[in-house]
Structure 1
């Protein structure tokens, strides 16, 4: 867990500091609000948990990369530059606010969503930790010396546990907000995205690891709906 491979040219420290400060502020404000105003039947509490979950997600993306794969860490390892995902966040909160005006909240939806998003976050972060230097936020088209086929731990149950984790984390967030449109459309688009990405990525993984990867793929699923 040393920092011998850390490349300071890829990390603008002022950008990291600013992003970490803003995420810390978001996490802190959300946590304080929930500490004094928690009510599972209120829009405010559900929105605060959603915002808190997102803040923790982005922070863990950077921290896990920095600690366990510091050779690839950069100031965008927070993955905060995905504007399409930010648009989904805004749409999710807008739909939740609108529906709350017309529907009563369901406690089962709240607790189910909370459990699912926690499981998803755990799987995502644990997958990054387990893969270590073999994990990348971007599809690798050339194999580096550090890139090995990980088959242990959570990778023995799912061959793409980071995608699995994010998929179910997203779905859990939408269930917690009790959204209808964003749940259906967002889950569909995310499933199609991962289906295409996995197919594309596995072409390179097969070229890297040959029969060893093909055998691994045969015995290990993804646990993302409709993706073998």
Structure 2
């Protein structure tokens, strides 16, 4: 949603117009736009600082090779006419220090990186979300719980297809997909190919309706003959 809001804002659309298009309240739209404008301003400011420091790059590199402290480098650059801040210098110098070194991939839990781009993310298993909805019917909190799953910007549903869903769960799952269709992003993991989704849901017509909404606009990542993450470190001894 954030990407769509920013694109519409860049196209000159009003906040009220954007609010209607993405179906979110105007306070949320204002928050997203404000965050975006702050990011742009920060990048512009940082770019200006980097441009100034790039004029002193050779000197900074030489000072680093001489193992001078950042404070000493800052003092020497001031003598040479640098009028920027000390933190800007330390950040720039740190970038020169790590250039050429090995970069280590930083892994995060599912959905954590998405929160930067999308906003609020909920990660849960398909069984758990359907269990919560079923239990909520007992105390008449179903619609409150259901709306919680609609409110998040990105909903990640894990393990669809591990077990066949009962009729009432199939209906709930369809409602979630239908309500979020073209309004909210969804990531689904499943061990079943789309052509076998009829095995998950009792109603094949319902299964087709769910599948059509999921596939439309989707990016599909298919893993063929993947090795289980849980067993990849186990070595199996051949039988004698």
Judging by fraction of residues, say which structure has more strand.
Answer: 2
Larger Rg: 2
Higher relative contact order (CA 8 A, sep 6+): 1
Same-fold call, TM > 0.5?
Answer: no
TM-score range, shorter chain: under 0.3
Judging by fraction of residues, say which structure has more helix.
Answer: 1
Give the TM-score, by structure 2 length.
0.25
